[in-house]
Amino acid sequence: MSKKNAPLISRPEPPSVEKIIEDIGSAQKTDVVFILASFPNNGELCLDSVNDSQTSNETNVATTQDTKQGPDVDQVYTEAKQLIDLTEELKTAPERLSNQCEQLETLAQELTESINALKQQARSVPARTGS
């Protein structure tokens, strides 16, 4: 008995630039995006900061805009990109390591055979006697 695959629901179209700008413009100053940018500890929440931000959100947002506190967007982007690249590299690591292991095992076998051949040749060379 086989199951029929249900058709997948298509993804919605991404919003237009105008819609994004409209959404940003209509967002409240207490929106989490604006609050996180106001934390001096790189966007990490702590209880004191949350309590402070709830009592003076407008002050925090204004201060953030004036003093440019919070994480540097370029730095965060760079770090995120590096993490993505490392993740992709780690996904291929097991296969690469397996291939390298096989190569090392082959080289070890060839080296052992070469050593044994040299030992055999050394046995067939007559020993020198002292004069």
In one letter, which amino acid is 128?
A: R
Are 73 and 43 contacting, i.e. CB atoms less than 8 angstroms apart?
Answer: no
Dist CA 44 CA 70 (whole Å)? 10
Q: DSSP letters of 96-108?
A: HHHHHHHHHHHHH
pTM listed for this prediction: 0.36
Q: Which domain holds residue 57?
A: 23-67
Per-residue pLDDT at 73:
84
Q: Are residues 43 and 76 in the same domain?
A: no
Q: Between residues 49 and 34, which one has the greater pLDDT?
A: 34
Per-residue pLDDT at 28:
83
Dist CA 60 CA 34 (whole Å)? 9
60 C-beta neighbours (distance < 10 Å), count: 22
Q: Are residues 83 and 61 in the same domain?
A: no
Indicate whether 6 belongs to any domain: no
